[in-house]
Amino acid sequence: MASATLASKTFDGDDQVFFARLSGDFNPMHMEPLAARRTQAGTAVVHGIHAVLWSLDRLVELGAVTGGMAGLKVQFAKFIPVGSTVHLKLVRRDEKSVIAELALGGLTTTILGVTLGTPKRTDGIALAGNISKTIPTDRPAILVHLEEAMDLSGWIDFASPARQVETGFPHAAAVIGSGRVAAIALLSRLVGMICPGLHSIFAAFAIDLIETPRHRDGLWFRVSGTDERFRMVRMTVSGAGVSGSVQAFMRSPPVVQASLSEISKLVAPTEFAGSTALIIGGSRGLGALTAKIIAAGGGKVIVTYAIGRKEAMQLAEEIHARIPQAVCDVLPYDARQDAAEQLKSLSADVSHLYYFATTPIARQKEGLFVSSLFDEFIQVYVKGFYDCCRFLGEHGSRALTAFYPSSVFVENNPLPMAEYSMAKMAGEILCDNMNRSAGRVQVIIGRLPRLKTDQTATIPPVESGEPLEVMLPAVRKVQSSRSGS
């Protein structure tokens, strides 16, 4: 049968705060947009369990789930960015079960399977491990390697009284009880704050509703297995009228680029002396690495940021801690806005431009080609680059050498990255035309391999090159071009 849309919701910042307090899950990928951009999502995302409980509440309210409920299975397929609207759709209903999904446009983000019936009576589920140990959850645990999760077990208290869930999910609480709703909410705290904790992605869970005399407000958990191939953690949970299993991915932590101290061992202190480089998008990633390479070689750098001012200032502090002279300035700059207006106060005579402006490239999308996404990439990687080059070329006292970081995706054209690959190819064509026009801007194209950055981190992990090994020779090539002398 065709799925029918039952309800829609736009999760906003207030929703995030409400559920974080209710569940105790304050993971930065939900609460801090700047930190969240360094995750696979690239932006702050809705708590998956919040979306599940909202869906369950609507299913009960609208009559799709009637009578009793015996179990719940959920699979999280895609992120739900904060501020986006999701649609709850009824896929199938019979006397034994209800299948529903949450959709973001044409993308299914969450699949819910509700087993109808009544909770099973049991004496309780015995878990191995230290179930008497209460796990503190005021800060997310920082686990990096799967081995750190293998022996974890313990007890988690409710973040707030169970009755408070009735405020947000009254219909679900009326059917399965406020304690069970609170226990489901606590699964978010388990994954986001305890295991895997800070670097986590919730994959799925399956629970049975149970009746047991061994009732206590909270959850026991035990890690039951791991899978290195997918950085997967499996857990068993029980308590507050539920028992079942949870699966979560352990994300790779944000990529830390080489330090200035490391770079200084490879670069002569006067290797890039006399140059002034404007690094668009230099607050983190390859841009920050490039800034440190040039500064280590005696050059001056102007680092721009769009939203990462704190990161840009930390980079400047790292450089000035080792190089006392004022060799690193910080400038706000958005590649989607007018270049001339943002650069008109630039007093330095720029000799080199490194263009690392970017926008999240690995997107959740429906269909082979999304024109709005292509337009966004063109704005950043083509028009934004050209406008920046044109301003510097027209207002500098000397010619300019620009570095355009293209990608091997232009060659291998991965299917999910069509818009990005096309925009980078268009950027290469533009660079070629700029060079053939014999103007005051010379462009050097670097078709970079897949490198270890926040943008390229995936689950499961994909082999990526070391950024310093690639960028150091690239910077040397660009800096050796003295068209700006």
pLDDT tens profile 33-46 = 888 888 888 899 99
Residue 60 in this model has a pLDDT that exceeds 80 = yes
pLDDT tens figures, 213-250: 766 788 999 999 999 989 999 999 999 999 999 999 99
Give the pLDDT of residue 485.
Answer: 41
Residue 426 reports pLDDT greater than 90? yes
Residue 404, CA distances (Å) to 315, 347, 401, 470 in order: 22, 23, 10, 14
Kindly tell me if the per-residue pLDDT of 483 is higher than 60. no
**Most distant pair of Cα atoms in the chain: their distance:** 83
pLDDT at 397: 84
Q: Reply yes or no on domain 260-480 having CATH 3.40.50.720.
A: yes
Let me know: does 315 contact 291? Beta carbons within 8 Å: yes
Query: Is pLDDT above 60 for 208?
Result: yes
Compute the distance between CA of residue 279 and CA of residue 87 in angstroms, rounded to an integer: 41
Q: What is the mean pLDDT of the chain?
A: 91
In the predicted model, what is the mean pLDDT of residues 93-112? 94
Stated pTM of the model: 0.84
Q: pLDDT tier at 283 (50, 70, 90 boundaries)?
A: very high
Distance CA 278, CA 395 (A): 14
pLDDT at 1 over 60: no
Residues 206, 218: Cα–Cα separation, whole Å:
17
Mean pLDDT throughout 363-373?
87
Q: Are 110 and 99 in contact (CB under 8 A)?
A: no
Task: Find where tokens 């690193």 sit.
Answer: 328
Q: Which tokens hold the place of 384? A: 């934004």
Question: What is the mean pLDDT of the segment spanning 15-39?
Answer: 93
pLDDT > 90: what percent of the chain?
A: 73
- Report how far residue 148's alpha carbon sits from residue 312's, in angstroms, rounded to the nearest whole number: 32
Task: Name the region of 165 (left: φ>0; alpha: ψ -120 to 50; beta: rest).
Answer: alpha
* Percent of the chain with pLDDT strictly greater than 70: 93
Query: Of 72, 79, 100, 99, which is closest to residue 37 (Cα–Cα)?
Result: 79
Task: Show the beta-strand stretches assigned E in 251-291.
Answer: 276-280
Would you place residue 413 in the very low, low, confident or very high pLDDT band (cuts 50, 70, 90)? confident
pLDDT of residue 455: 63
The answer, yes or no, to whether residue 465 has pLDDT greater than 90, is no
Higher pLDDT, 373 or 461: 373
Of 120-124, 391-395, 455-459, where does the model show the most confidence? 391-395
* Lookup: tokens for 231: 């950085």
Within 10 A of 397 (CB to CB), how many other CB atoms are there?
8
User: What is the residue extent of each domain of the chain?
Assistant: 4-250, 260-480
How confident is the model over 394-403, as a mean pLDDT? 91
* Tokens at 289, concatenated: 């690495």
Q: Residue 129 pLDDT more than 60?
A: no
Do 245 and 235 contact (CB within 8 A), yes or no? yes
Q: What is the pLDDT of residues 429-438, one digit of tens each?
A: 999 999 999 8
pLDDT at 85 > cutoff 80: yes
Higher pLDDT, 52 or 157: 52
Decide if domain 4-250 falls under CATH 3.10.129.10.
yes
Average pLDDT over residues 75-101: 95
pLDDT at 130 over 60: no
Distance separating alpha carbons of residues 429 and 19, to the nearest angstrom: 48
Strands (E), 50-169: 69-76, 85-93, 97-104, 107-116, 120-121, 153-157
pLDDT in tens, 307-356: 889 999 999 999 999 998 889 999 999 999 999 999 998 988 999 999 99
Q: How far apart are CA 399 and CA 226, in angstroms?
A: 56
Residue 34: enclosing H or E segment and its boundaries?
Answer: helix 33-36
Give the pLDDT band (50/70/90) at residue 112: very high
